[in-house]
């Protein structure tokens, strides 16, 4: 068989369901091999979108998503999505076609050193220079991508190697080991918690990756310690729980930030400092950190680790809650913070202002979607509002990219989410800036018959940058752009189109959109004058 055929058999051995990508001349042998495979190749309209889809698939399933591109511009387009998955700790394997080995020593058409290019944005990568190493390379790529902490790996396959004849077989996947902290370490952690008068838990993305929500819940029930979520940790504790302080991460002071101010121990669980810089919540470096994670804490002067508890989160959290005594705490301050945060959502439900206020959009979206439904936020001003005010019941029901935080992630990710969870409603929340970056994937959604909903917040500009400019300079520059006729655009892609012309129509439009069982595009003008009003409001909060 050809190396390309062996490569596809190795993917089958890894349990790959889909490969997302754009075919090219230098990977035609691989593309042909997919014809005889049960793996479904999903043709996308851009390579970056393919990587976004693979990353979302990996995040939602825990199995590495796979994306493919040809050499040169295909590989450079793919790079952004691969970097996004790696920094967000989504398991992903990227495959690139490459020029034949006979032209690597000289300047050659579309040839770049992709191993060097991809090395900084992956956990591991390799080029297949001999056909016989293919099974080892593919097995290692999946093994490393799926190890804690999840991330991206990359395989580069030259076209002359892909067409070579080979006799070899795929390698069997191996079970991943589970390591736990020792008894003494667990006892030291329990002692730190029991001595603290005002401990606070900061729940991160790792709780979702490790499926440790239940174990976290038991720990909270026993200790009555309040929980703050990072953008990517949303849902680790239901927002309905009295000890949930919802989400922190927006710059500056906030109701939730007051919890950090009064804490004498911060217990970070599955938290990466890329999610929420410690200088924002421990500026004076006075509050010690109990770091519970799969890996040792990153070095940061604002992250003074008193103790690292490392290993499998589910097992370690279970051992820790068993080592702790049941305690009662005075959490009146928690209820006060919750009341203020939840009042914001409640007070805008009946707001009739137009364009629609961000708070109103989120209140209506939350009221329409079920507990298990999935909202995916793109990057922009709407992301800050979604992170702060779209409250969740479960993990992985509000997907926010907050590592690389690349614009354009929502529509491709919504496609992958609907493929993984066809029984759930899936809404891509975009700005008109981020939507235009990957909006062509609406064709992919229609072609695959995936009834996603695209909810676009329209303001004819890069709203988040304008927000920052106004905060720093009290004026904005170079952030405005034009828009197409979205009704014509949506209908040309086969989407049902809805335009919000008064605030009172939004909730009913959302209800109709999720009931139609077909792709829907909602054009919703947004009033981003609320951005600076929020900045002023947060500036007046005193803890």
pLDDT at position 109 over 80: no
The CA distance from 58 to 53, in Å, is 9
318 located within any domain: yes
Same domain, residue pair 294 and 369: no
Domain shared by 245 and 368, yes or no: no
Structure token pair of residue 421: 């969870």
Is the pLDDT at 425 greater than 90? The verdict is yes
Please report whether residue 178 resides in a domain: no
Q: Based on the fold, state whether residues 132 and 212 are members of the same structural domain.
A: no
Structure tokens at 391: 């409250």
Q: Return the H-helix or E-strand segment holding 267.
A: strand 265-269
Please state, in angstroms and rounded to a whole number, the distance separating the CA atoms of residues 198 and 220: 14
Is residue 168 one of the residues assigned to a domain? Answer: no
Tokens of 167: 């006799």
The candidate with the shortest Cα–Cα distance to 434, out of 501, 380, 507, 498, is 380
User: Same domain, yes or no, for 304 and 366?
Assistant: no
Q: Are 318 and 464 in the same domain?
A: no
- The pLDDT, as a whole number, for residue 253 is 63
One domain for residues 220 and 362: no
Q: Is 67 part of a structural domain of the chain?
A: yes
Q: What is the pLDDT of residues 193-248, one digit of tens each?
A: 999 999 999 999 999 999 999 999 999 999 999 999 999 999 999 999 999 998 88
Query: Taking a C-beta distance cutoff of 8 angstroms, is the pair 44, 73 a contact?
Result: no
CATH code at position 247: 3.40.50.1220
Shared domain check, 192 and 69: no
DSSP assignment letter at 527: -
Extended beta strands in 85-134, E state: 92-98, 124-127
What are the helix (H) ranges across 390-528?
A: 410-420, 432-438, 442-447, 463-473, 486-492, 506-515
Do 152 and 278 reside in the same domain of the chain?
no
Domain membership of residue 317 (yes or no) is yes
Distance between CA atoms of 34 and 39, rounded to whole angstroms? 7
Instruction: Please determine, for residue 249, whether its predicted confidence score (pLDDT) is greater than 80.
Output: no
| pLDDT of 152 strictly over 90 | yes
Do 158 and 106 fall within a single domain?
Answer: yes
Q: Closest Cα partner for 454 from 506, 499, 521?
A: 521
Which CATH number do you get for residue 356?
Answer: 3.40.50.970
Domain count for the chain, please give it. 3
Q: Which range of residues forms the domain containing residue 67?
A: 3-162
- Residue 442: inside a domain: yes
Same domain for 135 and 218, yes or no, is no
Q: Give yes or no: residues 110 and 136 share one domain.
A: yes
Confidence category of residue 540, pLDDT binned at 50, 70, 90? low
Q: State which of 304, 335, 366 marks the end of a domain.
A: 335
Same domain, yes or no: 323 and 194: yes
* Model confidence, pTM: 0.95
Q: Is residue 382 a contact partner of residue 432, using CB atoms and an 8 Å limit?
A: no
Q: Which of 273, 307, 335 is the last residue of a domain?
A: 335
Residue from 411, 365, 425, 371 nearest 390 by CA? 365
Q: Is residue 360 part of a domain?
A: yes
In this predicted model, which residue has the larger pLDDT, 251 or 172?
Answer: 172
- Over residues 298-327, the pLDDT tens digits come to 899 999 999 999 999 999 999 999 999 887
User: What per-residue confidence (pLDDT) applies to 428?
Assistant: 98
| 291/265 Cα distance (integer angstroms) | 10
Confidence of residue 392 (pLDDT cuts 50, 70, 90): very high
Predicted local distance difference test score (pLDDT) of residue 100: 78
Which DSSP string do the residues of 17-48 spell out, in sequence order?
-EEEE---GGGHHHHHHHTTSSSEEEE-SSHH
Structure-block tokens of residue 506: 């939004």
* Domain C-terminal end among 162, 197, 218: 162
- Domain-located, residue 542: no
Summarize pLDDT for 504-526 with one digit per residue, the tens: 999 999 999 999 999 999 999 99
Phi, psi of 306 (to 5 degrees): -85, -30
């Amino acid at each position: 068989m050809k190396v390309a055929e062996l490569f596809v058999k190795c993917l089958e051995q890894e349990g790959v369901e889909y490969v997302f990508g754009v075919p090219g001349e230098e990977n035609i042998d691989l593309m042909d091999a997919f014809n005889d495979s049960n793996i479904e190749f999903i043709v996308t309209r851009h390579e970056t979108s393919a990587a976004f889809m693979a990353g979302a698939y990996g995040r939602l399933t825990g199995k590495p998503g796979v994306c493919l591109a040809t050499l040169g511009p295909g590989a450079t387009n793919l790079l952004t999505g691969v970097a996004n998955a790696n920094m967000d700790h989504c398991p992903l394997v990227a495959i690139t076609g490459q020029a034949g080995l006979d032209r690597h020593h000289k300047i050659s058409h579309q040839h770049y050193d992709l191993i060097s290019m991809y090395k900084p944005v992956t956990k591991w990568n390799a080029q297949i220079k001999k056909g016989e190493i293919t099974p080892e390379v593919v097995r290692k790529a999946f093994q490393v991508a799926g190890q804690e902490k999840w991330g991206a790996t990359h395989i580069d396959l030259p076209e002359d190697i892909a067409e070579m004849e080979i006799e070899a077989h795929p390698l069997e996947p191996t079970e991943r080991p589970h390591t736990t902290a020792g008894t003494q370490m667990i006892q030291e952690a329990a002692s730190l918690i029991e001595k603290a008068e005002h401990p606070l838990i900061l729940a991160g993305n790792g709780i979702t990756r490790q499926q440790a929500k239940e174990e976290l819940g038991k720990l909270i029930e026993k200790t009555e310690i309040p929980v703050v979520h990072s953008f990517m940790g949303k849902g680790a504790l239901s927002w309905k729980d009295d000890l949930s302080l919802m989400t922190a991460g927006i710059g500056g002071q906030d109701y939730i930030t007051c919890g950090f101010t009064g804490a004498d121990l911060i217990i970070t669980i599955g938290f990466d400092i890329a999610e929420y810089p410690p200088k924002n919540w421990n500026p004076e470096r006075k509050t010690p950190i109990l770091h519970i994670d799969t890996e040792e804490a990153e070095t940061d002067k604002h992250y003074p680790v008193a103790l690292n508890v490392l290993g499998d989160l589910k097992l370690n959290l279970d051992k820790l809650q068993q080592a702790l005594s049941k305690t009662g705490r005075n959490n009146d301050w928690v209820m006060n913070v919750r009341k203020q945060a939840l009042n914001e959502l409640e007070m805008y439900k009946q707001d009739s202002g137009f364009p629609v206020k961000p708070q109103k959009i989120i209140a209506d979206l939350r009221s329409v979607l079920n507990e298990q439904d999935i909202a995916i936020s793109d990057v922009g001003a709407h992301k800050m509002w979604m992170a702060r005010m779209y409250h969740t019941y479960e993990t992985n029901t509000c997907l926010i990219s907050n590592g690389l935080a690349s614009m354009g992630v929502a529509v491709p990710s919504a496609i992958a989410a609907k493929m993984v969870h066809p029984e759930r409603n899936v809404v891509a929340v975009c700005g008109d800036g981020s939507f235009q970056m990957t909006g062509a994937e609406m064709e992919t959604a229609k072609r695959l018959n995936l009834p996603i909903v695209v909810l676009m917040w329209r303001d004819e500009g890069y709203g988040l940058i304008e927000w920052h400019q106004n905060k720093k300079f009290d004026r904005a520059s170079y952030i405005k752009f034009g828009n197409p006729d979205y009704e014509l655009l949506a209908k040309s892609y086969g989407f049902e189109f809805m335009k919000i012309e008064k605030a009172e129509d939004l909730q009913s439009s959302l209800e109709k959109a999720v009931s139609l069982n077909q792709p829907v595009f909602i054009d919703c003008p947004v009033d981003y004058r609320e951005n600076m009003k929020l900045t002023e409001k947060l500036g007046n909060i005193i803890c």
